[in-house]
Chains A and B, each alone.
Chain A
């Protein structure tokens, strides 16, 4: 830090701002390492023989690398069905969010209707609620409906959530009214205006919502763990979490090594898809995160 503090006397501000000091680079490099090392270590270690992972966690010998942990993991862990379930939920829940949230946001942004302010106020208040508050009654509701271990239980709750509505209202408010009126004069119906004028205009906002939605659904854990009780319906994250339970209940010798190996293989496979999507769609991700952070 110290090198950043004191500029040499007589050097003008512009010059100083243009030269990031060595300390800045060291600081950033250390942070970058801290962020990357756990992920890289996981991906690399998954290729090591299971016994080596626990005997020498820092060892690196590419000659011994193999796919044994992956092979073992695929036979022991229902990871394929986890991926399948997550994909189903992702497609349907994502589609529902990306269609109905902008639609409701459009109504809130561009129309006057009864109870609009009361309704929107309620939406804002629920943004502050801990999700856990709703878990008990939701679980009972699912039992009542007979929805435990069903896709609808994984898909419908939270699919049109308050935050998405709030965000889409903000985005659509910025669309000029003249544009909508022009479409109206051209004989466009109300839904037509939404579909053919509003949606194309707010495409960047939709892209941001899309990445954030995909990420939230892919990583969702608390709700799926509550509404799924069978292996067959578990999503990827739930499948993963059961592996950790095996580890804490099975902490001896060779078994521990094998479970650890499988766990690292499963974790690598679970984190790669999102990582790749993120690197490709980085800009939208950052926009999504920034807009999403308004949630508080």
Chain B
């Protein structure tokens, strides 16, 4: 599709070319096509083609070998009537509830505190907040396994020191989701603070001075000035993290393999599990269902936060 695009010379002269010297006109018309050609080639080969392939695959029962049989909407109806599919979405939903509200609140408070120019060691705090973000996910996921181990882990040792009993962080269905949520929060909250801080820095500080002269408390200022003015930034963060939580795959893959008893089989991991048993048609259908869920949620949050205007 794209090769023809690249060789066609645009019939309409580029806007800026009227100002340029005559000699370079032709080169100037063809230049952009040459510049985007490598990108187009990669994009077509590694994004567009696979996407179309997945879409077709989702209507077949292909298992990776032999001829694919067209089975219409069967993969979709199979998934939509399968309790495991809904359970994987529910697991991601619970993780979302454990992660996103906590992160927004903690992140907002941290950003407000860090935004105070008179705070000592601001740079130090900011640096440490980014440390988790640059820590390889696989490394920290493994550290989680060791630290939260029921018998030998540092966290349970600490609890014992305080006279509390051991907790099966990764081995009980009660604690497995919070432990995974904690890993996600550890990894990304510093990043959230940096984003919120950038939004905060664009707020006019005189608003706060006026508010405090009117006797508004700090909490009231946070709620009536900061939050409304930060709505776009907060919305942006919420959408970003919603995408990330519903696609979460590497964390449960490394830490829990989806267990115990499927309690950490996220939507992303459930999708991957079809691939491991070569049920590619179902996996493809699952991909598109997940895309629809993620896009619907994103739109929902965009609407929700806009509606408050």
Say yes or no: is B46 at the interface (Cβ < 8 Å to chain A): yes
The answer to whether B271 and A132 touch across the interface, beta carbons within 8 angstroms, is yes
- In the complex with contacts A58-B158, A114-B5, A293-B240, A194-B35 CB distance below 8 A: yes
State how many angstroms separate the Cβ of A179 from the closest Cβ of chain B.
12
Q: In the bound complex, how far is the Cα of B35 from the Cα of A56, in angstroms? A: 59
Contact of B50 among A20, A134, A267, A279 (CB under 8 A): A134
* SS class, residues of chain A in contact with chain B: helix
B154 at the A/B interface (Cβ < 8 Å)?
yes
Does the CB pair A190–B28 fall under 8 Å?
A: yes
Total inter-chain residue pairs, C-beta < 8 Å: 316
Of the residues B114, B142, B246, contact of A244 by C-beta under 8 Å: B142
Counting CB contacts under 8 A, is A140 at the interface?
yes
Let me know if B102 is at the binding interface, CB within 8 A: no
Greatest chain A CB density within 10 A among B28, B48, B154 is at B154
Partner of B157, one of A58, A115, A140: A58
Indicate if the CB atoms of A156 and B46 lie closer than 8 Å. Answer: yes
A159 cross-chain contacts in B, Cβ below 8 A: 42
Of B43, B120, B139, which one neighbours A270 at CB under 8 angstroms? B139
Instruction: Please report the C-alpha to C-alpha distance between residue A129 and residue B27 in the assembled complex, in whole angstroms.
Output: 36
Question: Chain B: which residue is nearest A16 at the CB level?
Answer: B212
Of A112, A113, A263, the most chain B CB neighbours within 10 A belong to A113
Q: How many residues on chain A are close to B (CB under 8 Å)? A: 112
B284–A17 CB distance below 8 A: no
Verify B10–A31 contact, CB threshold 8 A: no
**Which residue of A18, A136, A270, A278 is within 8 Å of B275 (Cβ)?**
A136
Among the listed stretches B69-77, B172-180, B190-198, which one makes contact with chain A, having 4 or more residues with CB under 8 Å of it? B190-198
Closest to A108 in B: B36
Q: Which residues of A contact B255 (CB under 8 A)?
A: 244
Choice from B10, B47, B209, B249 contacting A222 with Cβ under 8 Å: B249
30 A-B contacts, Cβ less than 8 Å apart? A1-B109, A7-B217, A13-B213, A17-B118, A35-B132, A38-B144, A57-B157, A100-B38, A103-B35, A113-B10, A113-B36, A130-B287, A130-B290, A130-B291, A132-B290, A136-B53, A137-B49, A137-B54, A140-B53, A141-B45, A221-B250, A222-B250, A240-B138, A260-B152, A263-B142, A264-B146, A267-B139, A274-B136, A289-B195, A293-B236
